[in-house]
Amino acid sequence: WIGMASSVMYYWIVVTIFLSCSSDCVSSEIELGSRLLASKDQVWVSDNGTFAIGFTPSDTDNRFFTFGIWFASLPGDRTFVWSPNRNSPTSREAILELDTTGNLVLIDKKVTIWASNTSNVNVESATMSESGNFILHNTNNHPIWQSFSQPSNTLLPNQPLTVSSELTSSKSSSHGGYYALKMLQQPTSLSLALTYNLPESYQTFDENESYANYSYWQGPEISNVTGEVIAVLDQAGSFGIVYGNSSDGAVYVYKNDNDDAGLASAIHQSTPLTVLRRLTLEENGNLRLYRWEDVNGSKQWVSQWAAVSNPCDIGGICGNGVCKLDKTKTNASCTCLPGTSKVGRDGQCYENSSLVGKCTNRKNENNTSNFRISTVQQTNYYFSESSIIANYSESDVSSVSKCGDACLSDCDCVASVYGLNEERPFCWVLRSLSFGGFEDTSSTLFVKVRANSSWTPEGQGRSNNSSSDGMGSAKEKAVIIPIVLGMIVLIILLSMLLYYSVHRKRTLKREMESSLVLSGAPVNFTYRALQIRTSNFSQLLGTGGFGSVYKGSLGDGTLVAVKKLDKILPHGEKEFITEVNTIGSMHHMNLVRLCGFCSEGPQRCVLFYLQFHCENSNFIALTGLSNVCFADF
């Protein structure tokens, strides 16, 4: 039942592809004069619907299209396995045409972007095969041109990679460099190698020298080889080199434990694929083998093998910056050197005018006083043999600083590296840093920069997380300035609110006091004024249940009795003043008249006019505020 269900699902996918394509899909033989339009999402599909060739909108901008081959049997996934215009997307006006001369041409706005160059060589038709190979046939059905012979960044099962061909990654958006998988030939041996390649526009310092690529990974070597040599991925998922006149020799780069047929069985086969696999050279320089699998109910590409486990082992992954691993040893970040800055979305580092690059004939240009050495600790660099100016041994370099001096005195030197090899010191003087650096606790890098340059190594006083120093500073300002301004505005508003509240309270109090004075009510005294009028409450007249009474005088000499209330009344200040006002307006022959009060903080005092017959402590408290005085008879 499981096998039947799988078969039903497979044929349902194939039927879905053909129904969705409608008249825009063509399978089997493709005749001369046929064309595909990017604007109509037209494709040519293999007989069983496994592969399709056509246009796909860009992932980042649907105004642009890429032409190529992908697995049509994987709904929602258009990962390219071959494309001739990965680095130059087309517009919606693009057309792919197998013209009447037999030439397969990609045209965008009447400009030829790519062509198979097969005009007038008897091409009769084309086929999108079930193996993923797009083939141009002659009248005898013999292949004249095929996509398998011009790979881009992916090998499919049974697709040969010859000595004359190579896989190439997409070019870097910031500098144009790229990675390649190819056969690296030595005088007596051969091996597969991954290389980092500088762009064609890269200028070497000597026209007779070439150091535009660096090999950072090599597979097993084979020696004294005769006959054809082919790298191949077989259907069981093993990858390696097949060689010999009868292809009977094989060296595995990666072997699947379930591979019983061997690599040689993959040569010149084009059988349908039962398991979908691809070997892809990624833009980050790693070579990975993928298999389409079910992961927790979700179909996706799963990595089965990678050529490089440490990303910092890949040359140029940070441009000419330094690669640093995180604590997990799986993820890398880039740190730029003095005289360089980060460029592009990939955050790689490249030269600016501060980094010294070559000797010149300008006057005083090569004077050592115009330059200085910036030291970067625990750092080493990748370099090719042709980028070495000199290699000083122990006898030539007695100290670390002399390695820096060796670079400073050589006008061609960009940097020098000091380190230890089996406890013996060495000093490499280099004319290029283009292949990138890595952390190395036993090495020190000396970078030559112009004397007036203010550059210092990232991570030594400056952050290395921003895309560039200028951009990082701008981003920080864009965040900090609004926050600071907002805080200033908030402080001003709170200050205004506090001032208004205090001012309002004081105004109300003054208004209340003024209203009392105008109405003949008792006057409000400050506690400090009462201290002065009573000589700091020094003349005690008497005490009562609510407090003590002290003798004092007003400014005009009028004698008063000041009563300090010890028991604070439970009502508030407003009620206290209102009660004082009420009592002050009362007149009785036996009631001493109230002339003032004090309500300041916790202090509560009342003032009475002192009569001659009340000076001998004859105050009798009837209430907390009023007092009666009996004359002495």
Tokens 């640093």 correspond to 324
Backbone angles phi, psi at 500, to 5 degrees: -65, -40
Which residues 6+ apart lie within 8 Å of 94 measured at CB?
37, 38, 55, 65, 67, 106, 107, 108, 113
Burial of 622 (0-12, 13-18, 19+ CB in 10 A): exposed
Q: How far apart are CA 324 and CA 322, in angstroms?
A: 6
Backbone angles phi, psi at 486, to 5 degrees: -65, -40
DSSP conformation letters of 66-128: EEEEEETTSTT---EEE-S-TTS-B-TT-EEEE-TTS-EEEEETTEEEEE---TTS-EEEEEE
Element (H, E) at 581: helix 573-584
Identify the CA nearest to 67 among candidates 77, 45, 82.
82
SS3 call for 15? helix
Cβ atoms within 10 Å of 356's Cβ, excluding its own: 25
Q: How far apart are CA 332 and CA 344, in angstroms?
A: 17
Task: Tell whether 402 is in a known binding site.
Answer: no
∠267-271-272 over CA atoms, to 5°?
140
- Where helices occur in 452-544 by DSSP H, the ranges are 469-518, 527-533
Residues in the chain: 633
**20 and 33 Cβ atoms separated by less than 8 Å:** no
For residue 334, is it left (φ>0), alpha (ψ between -120 and 50) or beta? beta
- SS3 of 331-387: CEEEECCCCEEEECCCCEEEECCCECCCCCCCCCCCCHHHEEEEEEEEEEECCCHHH
The radius of gyration computed from the CA coordinates of the chain, to the nearest angstrom, equals 46
**182 and 166 Cβ atoms separated by less than 8 Å:** yes
Tokens, residue 200: 């064609």
Q: How many angstroms separate the Cα of 229 from the Cα of each of 131, 192, 323?
A: 21, 11, 35
Tokens, residue 397: 């370099």
Tokens, residue 418: 């000091």
Element (H, E) at 12: helix 2-21
Which residues 6+ apart lie within 8 Å of 268 measured at CB?
158
Output the known binding site for ATP: 564
Going by the annotation, the residues of the binding site are 564
